[in-house]
């Protein structure tokens, strides 16, 4: 690779968070409860009936009250883009009201104004694992067709309100997660043991229609809007050269590409129709659904953390600790403290695969390393974290991103996950830290909530300032 390589002009460098993992203030200014308020131990464990004190997200990092301080720190790093989400239950506390909550709308007005003050583009996820709890309990979430109407009302409210402040939107976070985690990904209250494939895939269809409807409405309200889908991207390799393993890879890939195919092409692909038929699933299309699905996305965004393998051999089908959407661990790869396998080249591979398939701009909106950080005092008396492991992880991934761009992939931007420490979605811990900024809060609830710049803060500032050329310095 050329040592003088620079990322494209206008490349959107930044970072990502979600409302439910940073904001706190879970009942403030009229906000209603969402599913995140009753998930004190993350997405792998059952929810509680009511919010409980051990739920770190109820306070999170108190971004709701400290957003000005935090946006200023991101601006200091030179952020061009800040991906966050709107908490649906701040705007419609129960989800099925006719009128939005003005105080909720005002908070995001203030936040987006603060971003724009520093020239930071907000990239806003409309629904990020925070379905209003009332919609879950009253309607069974996205299993119910009525959700499309509730989502449409919410979408119109925020598109109208922020049409001059937000240009970039994502319809659903990691939409393909619904297959493995229907409560988190689809607000579906029916227990997975009782949830039929018919009901699950009908819920997926409702989300597809809602997503396409958001694209349609958005382009009507402001033709300059860029609206994308967002998926978990995970390269899948055969565990052995056995052709049966390769067919398993193809079938596993189809589970994910089915989501991008519908979003980008506007119809169900043949292999998806076969899967539905083979499993006795008949998707109910309402009149007009087929036409709505033709409102396709402007770009594809994705999270990338790991790759996995597939095998047809039942004896080798061992689920990886960190593999949230299936797959078996790759014996050739190292893993993070949480069992997520580290594969920088997998990022180049998946970028090429997606771009070859769709010829649509891509946007990496999550990538990062969850690790245990130690706050120390340096020789100048400043509190910091020497997180060379995070710097190395991000650098190795960004070098592969540069390779993919040279391969011809059109990439809009790169936003690391958890640019400021937040509460983990998978485990609901603070100790699993991703940020460039350390937040003094711990899993026992202690801490001052003070913010401290880690070593990676200054490293990423340099990457952004040099538009990526610092990655190639010896």
Q: What is the pLDDT of residues 65-91, one digit of tens each?
A: 999 999 999 999 999 999 999 999 999
Q: What end-to-end distance do the CA atoms of the chain give, in Å?
A: 13
User: Tell me, what's the pLDDT at 323?
Assistant: 55
User: Tell me, what's the pLDDT at 325?
Assistant: 65
Q: What is the mean pLDDT of residues 203-215?
A: 98
Q: How confident is the model at residue 2 (pLDDT cuts 50, 70, 90)?
A: low
Instruction: Determine which one of 207, 310, 366, 403 is catalytic.
Output: 366
User: Tell me, what's the pLDDT at 78?
Assistant: 98
pLDDT digits (tens, 9 = 90+) for 315-366: 888 776 655 667 899 999 999 888 889 999 999 999 999 999 999 999 999 9
Q: How confident is the model at residue 433 (pLDDT cuts 50, 70, 90)?
A: very high
Q: What is the mean pLDDT of residues 30-56?
A: 95
Measured CA angle at 109 (ends 423, 415), to 5 deg: 45
User: Tell me, what's the pLDDT at 321?
Assistant: 61
Q: Which residue has the higher pLDDT, 467 or 315?
A: 467
User: Tell me, what's the pLDDT at 1?
Assistant: 52
Q: How confident is the model at residue 44 (pLDDT cuts 50, 70, 90)?
A: confident
Q: What is the mean pLDDT of residues 223-250?
A: 97
pTM of the model: 0.97
The answer, yes or no, to whether residue 3 has pLDDT greater than 70, is no
User: Tell me, what's the pLDDT at 339?
Assistant: 86
Strand partners for 125: 85, 170
User: Tell me, what's the pLDDT at 45?
Assistant: 87
Percent of the chain scored above 70 by pLDDT?
98
The answer, yes or no, to whether residue 474 has pLDDT greater than 80, is no
The answer, yes or no, to whether residue 445 has pLDDT greater than 60, is yes
Q: How confident is the model at residue 271 (pLDDT cuts 50, 70, 90)?
A: very high
**Residue 366 falls in the annotated catalytic set:** yes
Percent of the chain scored above 90 by pLDDT?
93
Q: What is the mean pLDDT of residues 443-450?
A: 96
User: Tell me, what's the pLDDT at 318?
Assistant: 78
User: Tell me, what's the pLDDT at 5?
Assistant: 86
Nearest to 363 by CA among 325, 416, 314: 416
Instruction: Determine which one of 174, 207, 310, 403 is catalytic.
Output: 174
**Residue 152 falls in the annotated catalytic set:** no
Q: What is the mean pLDDT of residues 170-180?
A: 97
Q: What is the mean pLDDT of residues 168-185?
A: 97
Q: What is the mean pLDDT of residues 47-72?
A: 97
User: Tell me, what's the pLDDT at 320?
Assistant: 63
Q: What is the mean pLDDT of residues 252-267?
A: 97
Q: What is the mean pLDDT of residues 186-200?
A: 96
């Amino acid at each position: 690779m050329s040592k003088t390589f620079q990322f494209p002009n206008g490349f959107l460098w930044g970072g990502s968070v979600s409302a439910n993992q940073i904001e706190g203030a879970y009942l403030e200014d009229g906000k209603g409860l969402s599913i995140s308020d009753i998930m004190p131990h993350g997405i792998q464990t059952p929810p509680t009936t009511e919010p409980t004190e051990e739920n770190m997200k109820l306070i999170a990092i108190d971004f709701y009250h400290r957003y000005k301080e935090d946006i200023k720190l991101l601006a200091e790093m030179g952020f061009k883009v800040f991906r966050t989400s709107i908490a649906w239950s701040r705007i419609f506390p129960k989800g099925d009201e006719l009128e939005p909550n003005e105080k909720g709308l005002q908070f995001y007005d203030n936040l987006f104004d603060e971003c724009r003050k520093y020239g930071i583009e907000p990239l806003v996820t409309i629904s990020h694992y925070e379905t209003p709890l009332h919609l879950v309990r009253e309607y069974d979430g996205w299993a119910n067709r009525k959700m499309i109407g509730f989502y449409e009302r919410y979408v119109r409210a925020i598109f109208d309100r922020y049409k001059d402040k937000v240009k970039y939107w994502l319809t659903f976070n990691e939409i393909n997660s619904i297959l493995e985690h229907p409560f988190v990904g689809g607000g579906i209250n029916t227990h997975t043991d009782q949830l039929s494939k018919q009901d699950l895939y009908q819920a997926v269809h409702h989300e597809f229609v809602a997503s396409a409807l958001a694209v349609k409405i958005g382009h009507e309200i402001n033709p300059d809007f860029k609206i994308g889908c967002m998926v978990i991207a995970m390269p899948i390799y055969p565990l052995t050269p056995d052709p049966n393993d390769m067919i398993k890879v193809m079938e596993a890939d189809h589970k994910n590409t089915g989501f991008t195919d519908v979003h980008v092409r506007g119809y169900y692909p043949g292999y998806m129709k076969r899967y539905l038929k083979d499993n006795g699933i008949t998707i109910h299309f309402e009149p007009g659904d087929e036409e709505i699905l033709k409102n396709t996305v402007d770009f594809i965004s994705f999270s990338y953390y790991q790759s996995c393998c597939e095998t047809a051999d039942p004896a080798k089908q061992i689920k990886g600790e960190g593999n949230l959407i299936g797959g078996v661990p790759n014996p050739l790869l190292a893993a993070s403290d949480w069992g997520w396998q580290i594969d920088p080249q997998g990022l180049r591979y998946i970028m090429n695969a997606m771009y070859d398939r769709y010829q649509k701009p891509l946007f990496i909106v999550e990538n990062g390393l969850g690790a245990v950080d130690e706050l120390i005092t340096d020789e100048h008396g400043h509190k910091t974290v020497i997180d060379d492991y995070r710097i190395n992880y991000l650098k190795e991934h960004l070098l592969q991103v540069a390779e993919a761009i040279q391969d011809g992939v059109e990439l809009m931007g790169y936003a690391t996950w958890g640019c400021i420490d937040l509460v983990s979605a998978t485990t609901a811990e603070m100790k699993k830290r991703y940020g460039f900024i350390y937040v003094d809060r711990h899993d026992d609830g202690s801490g001052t909530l003070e913010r401290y710049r880690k070593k990676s803060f200054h490293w990423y500032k340099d990457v952004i300032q040099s538009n990526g050329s610092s990655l190639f310095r010896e």
